[in-house]
Structure 1
Amino acid sequence: MADTILDVRDLPPAERHPKIHAAFDDLDAGESLTILNDHDPKPLFYEMQAEVDAFDADNYAVEKQGPNEFAATFPKR
């Protein structure tokens, strides 16, 4: 399973979700997108869960790596 890493911490907030969705759409089934973010991306998790059929919410994972650094993995089924 391939894993794509996307660091969105330096992007303006309005550009983050569209860039993340585009990167997720480019994945093949069985691959995952790990985003590096400056906050817990729980709202994005709920958005993906509600709107993206290919998002494997059961295997989503998030890890706090520092005070302002979170790594969240969004797997694609």
Structure 2
Amino acid sequence: MISSVLFSIYHFSWGIGGMFGTFILGFVLAYVFIVGESLLPNIVSHAIIDGLIEPGLIISVFALGLGSHI
């Protein structure tokens, strides 16, 4: 539970909805780790999620002009 809260706080820049989503995701990933006793499923699922979400985030940052200093 603590790791889920910390995971969601780290994603504060995504807003309340993003924080709630990452809290749920963190809770599920913690459960998978505890039950499966392996970090590999979490690494793979996080990579897949990043692969699906990150391109959209990068595009939206530049579309809004927020990435002009990068």
TM-score, normalisation: structure 1: 0.31
| RCO higher in structure (CA 8 A, sep ≥6) | 1
Q: If each structure's strand is expressed as a fraction of its own residues, which one has the higher value?
A: 1
Tell me the TM-score normalized by structure 2. Answer: 0.33
Q: Which has the higher helix share?
A: 2
